[in-house]
């Protein structure tokens, strides 16, 4: 026993000496570590703690956004598919202004698929990246008309065969237009929110989606996607997030301010903010 204690003491002494001999961090290294620590919040230790955080987030989201909805205005799956493709690198407000003109000119997938490229470009130009978007929605229209009987497909496998449609767009259309639970929509807002909340450390949207699907109940996946998007759009913004007014403040390792009032009061404020599309304060 004495020999073992002596050996352990020697090991601790050697480790201490090794740490003290390590070269001090440079200013550049310190800055890099600080940025890394800030950009990726520490995850709770153990899956139980992580699930407890997700459960608390879910509870507060239910109060703040009891009936969340997609802000892209649409009349059906085809409208929503076109709108979602057009929304890339654009805003929902811009797409909502443009979409009625698009649907008036090209009301069906077949009409869109048969339209000249330059005609579609002219209508969608204000949404940005209009050449690629026009090409994508024209080809999607042609495929829907020719391969799916004029109806936007209802499975993840089939809908992601369409140009311009990855999992994010597919989840929006399948969940919102058809009520099909296929996953959780992860756009730039949802990605930012989930990372700030420490629910994931991933950066790839599909990997983030997988983490979130493990933490939230399947029956809440569609609404959770909407809630993440809307929360990121109106509260947890990229710049100057409203941490003091955020109902998730106590659950967020990235919070930059102390919470104001009860979380229920903050949830009611977010509800007004979302329902007014950011106009209520």
- Residue 249 has what DSSP assignment? G
Per-residue HEC secondary structure of 98-165 comes to HHHHHHHHCCCHHHHHHCCHHHHHHHHHHHCCHHHHHHHHHHHHHHHHHHCCCCCCCCHHHHCCCCCC
CA 98 – CA 108 distance, rounded (Å): 16
CA distance 86 to 227: 21
Inter-residue contact 259 to 246 (CB < 8 Å): yes
d(CA 246, CA 271): 11
Angle CA 183–142–77, to nearest 5: 40
d(CA 148, CA 225): 27
96's tokens: 């909502």
Distance between CA 86 and CA 126 in Å, rounded? 10
Catalytic residue ranges: 168, 187
The radius of gyration of the chain from alpha carbons, rounded to an integer in Å, stands at 24
């Amino acid at each position: 026993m004495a020999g073992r204690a002596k050996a352990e003491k020697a090991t601790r002494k050697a480790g201490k000496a090794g740490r003290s001999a390590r070269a001090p961090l440079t200013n550049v290294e310190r800055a890099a570590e600080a940025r890394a620590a800030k950009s990726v919040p520490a995850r709770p230790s153990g899956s139980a703690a992580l699930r407890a955080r997700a459960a608390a987030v879910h509870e507060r989201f239910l109060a703040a956004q009891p009936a969340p909805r997609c802000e892209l205005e649409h009349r059906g799956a085809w409208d929503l598919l076109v709108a979602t493709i057009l929304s890339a690198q654009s805003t929902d407000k811009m797409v909502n202004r443009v979409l009625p003109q698009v649907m008036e000119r090209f009301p069906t997938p077949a009409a869109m698929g048969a339209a000249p490229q330059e005609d579609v470009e002219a209508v969608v130009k204000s949404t940005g990246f209009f050449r690629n978007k026009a090409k994508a929605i024209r080809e999607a229209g042609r495929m829907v008309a020719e391969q799916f009987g004029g109806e936007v497909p209802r499975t993840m496998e089939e809908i992601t065969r369409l140009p311009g449609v990855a999992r994010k767009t597919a989840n929006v259309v399948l969940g919102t237009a058809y009520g099909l639970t296929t996953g959780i929509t992860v756009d730039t807002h949802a990605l930012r929110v989930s990372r700030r909340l420490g629910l994931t450390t991933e950066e790839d949207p599909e990997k983030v989606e997988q983490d979130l699907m493990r933490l939230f109940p399947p029956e809440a996946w569609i609404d959770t996607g909407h809630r993440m998007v809307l929360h990121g759009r109106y509260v947890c913004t990229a710049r100057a997030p409203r941490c003091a007014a955020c109902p998730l403040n106590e659950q967020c390792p990235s919070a930059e301010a102390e919470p104001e009032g009860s979380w229920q009061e903050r949830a009611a404020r977010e509800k007004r903010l979302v329902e007014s599309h950011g106009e209520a304060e």
